[in-house]
Amino acid sequence: MSRLKAWWFNDLPTGVKIVFLLLLANAVPAIFNLMVLLPTMTDVMFVWTVEPVINARLMGVMYANALILVGIGFFQPNWARVRIVMVLIALFSVLATVMTFVYLKPFLAHPWFHLTYWLGMYLVLCVAAPFVLVTEERKQGGRLPVEVPLNGATRLLAVLFALISLVCALGLFFGIDTVNQVWPWKLPPLVGGLIGVLFTTHAVAYAWALWDGDWLRVRPIFWQAPPTGLLFILLPMLHPGDLRPHAGN
């Protein structure tokens, strides 16, 4: 309890802590339902029916990425070190809310309170996260002095990751049918759209890292990549029955 109290009163802005707690309240139950407990029961235990099971776990990976970022963000000492995480959260909350209205039909097939919960959570984040980002950037952000410059290899990685993420996002947004011709399992439009949102936020975050230029401030986006990538790689290994043998042919 003393550690939690010390964390609450440290130099990390209170608004950031509130956004983190809101995101945890959304992500933790979703991760346990989608990845651990009931991935086969999304028809009753999630806000829309996700099929096949591998897609439920894919959505779980999306939430796990949020949990990883929040976990990293919890240990950052101030706004300068956490702002790249807030860039991701703010952009994701806005785009995920928009995606809900673009692909509303799967939500409407469920009881009304499922959509109410989903929209309520994302609308709060959609307001709170961008507000905190803009407010804190005005107070103590902008172009900050560089303590530890990004080296050439790190910059190259950031460029590659940004481009790959952007291409994946555009494909999932505007060419889901084409993506499904090569993807090893079928992605429904809503799942593809939300994963496209995830890729979009990562593309922006890597571009932000190049603009910021300081390793100490931007390392969270690099730290989240290995565990998130590993979770993606494990999906087809854990669900071979959901794969399409003709995909990519």
Task: Report the pLDDT value the prediction gives residue 9, as an integer from 0 to 100.
Answer: 72
Cis amide linkage into residue 52, ω under 30° from 0: yes
The reply to whether the predicted model has a pTM over 0.75 is: yes
pLDDT, residue 249, reads 35
Give me the pLDDT at residue 244, please.
77
Q: What is the pLDDT of residue 44?
A: 79
Tens of pLDDT along the chain (249 residues)?
677 777 777 789 999 999 999 998 888 777 776 666 677 778 877 888 998 999 999 998 999 999 999 999 999 999 999 999 999 999 999 999 999 999 999 999 988 888 898 888 889 999 999 999 999 999 998 889 999 999 999 999 999 999 999 999 999 999 999 999 999 999 999 999 999 999 999 999 999 999 999 999 999 999 999 999 999 999 999 899 999 765 433
Both tokens of 109, joined, read 């097939």
Nearest-angstrom CA–CA distance, 38 and 127: 31
Taking the alpha carbons of 57, 247, 187, 201 in that order, is the dihedral positive or negative? positive
> Within a 10 A sphere around the Cβ of 104, how many other Cβ atoms?
12
The Cα–Cα gap between 151 and 214 comes to 10
CA distance 131 to 9: 21
Confidence at residue 247, expressed as pLDDT on a 0 to 100 scale: 46
Query: Which pLDDT value is given to residue 152?
Result: 96
Q: What is the dihedral of CA 178, 183, 185, 186, to 10 degrees?
A: -20
